[in-house]
Amino acid sequence: MKIPVAGIGNDPRGDDSFGIRVIEAWSKDARVAEGVELYEAGIAGIGLAQELMNGYGALILVDAVDQGAAPGTIFVLDPITPEVTLKITPGGSRAFATARGR
């Protein structure tokens, strides 16, 4: 199973580039497990969303968040999948189908 580890952050704002720095450090480390794909997502999620269409069994996001805990605290967040209703126009559905390769 392939598992992407995506580093989130805003590189120009050094205080918000934590995820990017983690991916940079791990990409130089030969101990990254087989099947793990490192991905620098930055702040624009569209590239990551497109990458996830390639089929993965899981996703790990690395980012800095303010949860009121001591710096360095690691949080595991359970995703909540909301019910989503999409209103797609004919042009929008064509673009979506093209992006999905159909």
- 3-99 belongs to which CATH class? alpha beta
For residues 95-100, give the mean pLDDT: 56
Query: Which residues does 1 contact at the CB level (< 8 Å), separation at least 6?
Result: 35, 56, 57, 58
pLDDT, position 43: 83
pLDDT, position 6: 92
Q: Show me where the domains of the chain are located.
A: 3-99
AA letter at 85: T
For residues 47-66, give the mean pLDDT: 85
pLDDT tens per residue, range 4-40: 999 998 878 766 888 999 999 999 987 888 889 999 9
Question: How does residue 55 score in pLDDT terms, banded at 50, 70 and 90?
Answer: confident
pLDDT, position 24: 92
AA letter at 88: I
* pTM of structure: 0.68
Query: Which residues does 64 contact at the CB level (< 8 Å), separation at least 6?
Result: 9, 16, 18, 19
Residue pair 69/36 in contact by the 8 Å Cβ criterion: no
Rounded CA separation 57/35 (Å): 11
